[in-house]
Amino acid sequence: MPPASADLSRERSLGGVYAFSAYFLWGFLPLYFVLLAPTGPFELVAWRIVLSLVFCALLLTVTRTWGRLAAIFRQPRVLGLTVIAGLLIYVNWQVFMFGALNENVIETSLGYFINPIATVLLAVLVLRERLRVTQWVAIGIAAVAVVVIIVGYRSFPWIALTLAASFSLYGLVKKRVGPSVDAVSGLTLESLWLMPIAAIILVVVGTSTGITMGASGWGHAVLLSLAGVITAVPLLFFAAGARRVSLTVIGLLQFVAPILQFIIGAWVLGEPMPVERWVGFALVWVALTVLTVDSVLHARRMRVAAAS
């Protein structure tokens, strides 16, 4: 194998490891957050914002990349997009935290199962892209799945749908931002814009139920202090992986996180899974299978066309 080909193959393998690591860590997040009781979902998100900003500031200092962050302030459009990204990721974090700490981990996993389908739907509604027939079939099956869950389970899956909508919109905004903002600078800015929200939350919690940081033993304080690292590390792994592997590989690996969350919710935390939910989830999995097979076949056809 020529040296250039060997280097490319090694980079792709490394990218796959990085991307898998990101989704693997995201899959276990519910267990970490459950360990942080009695900290509530609002206080937890506030600390996640504050500590993410601190961790990113340390990374920028160690890697001497403050210049990259400063350059973004000279691009008003890009800066505005990071504000929107920050608000969307706040909604995603807050709803995810509410679900994880209120025995709805299974529904959070449903949200991330639906996310790829929501992303395809956004391509039509926002980017005016034309979908292939199989993509429309996948969207149709997913819509039926949501109806089955609402009617059969007698519960509107607002947690799942909010997570899918917020994260797919977040992905769209990040795509618009493009390579002009690196992962660390992006997370730094998103955390910075959310600092006023974090401050308000901590003041409200402090004057009502009381801040739990330092009030529940040193073990709890250490775990809570790691919230910034737990937030940033998977994002950095993901950014490193996404630069090295194709979107098809990323699309296949993104199911690792919701699968792990589903297993944790159903078999570790013992959340209920009645027949109606199984039927709804089964339909979602069928839709994802259709979407994934179509994506892989389309990518293969494009490679063959390019080669010829």
Residues 206-230 as b or e (16 or more Cβ within 10 Å = b): eeeeeebbeeeeeebeebbeebbeb
Integer Cα distance of 65 and 60 in angstroms: 5
Give the closest residue to 83 by CA, choosing from 177, 215, 160.
Answer: 177
- pLDDT tens digits, one per residue of 145-195: 989 888 877 788 999 999 999 988 988 888 788 778 888 899 999 999 999
CB 132 within 8 A of CB 294: yes
Looking at the chain, the whole-number percentage of residues with pLDDT higher than 70 is 97
What does the pLDDT read at residue 27?
94
Estimate to the nearest angstrom the gap between the alpha carbon of 102 and the chain centroid: 19
- pLDDT at position 202, please? 97
CA dihedral (24, 29, 30, 32) positive or negative: positive
The pTM (predicted TM-score) of the whole model is 0.89
59: nearest Cα among 227, 229, 214, 257: 229
SS (H, E, C) 45-61: HHHHHHHHHHHHHHHHH
Question: Which residues of the chain are under the pLDDT cut of 70?
Answer: 1-6, 246-248
- Work out the mean pLDDT of the chain and round it to a whole number: 89
Give the closest residue to 34 by CA, choosing from 220, 228, 234.
220
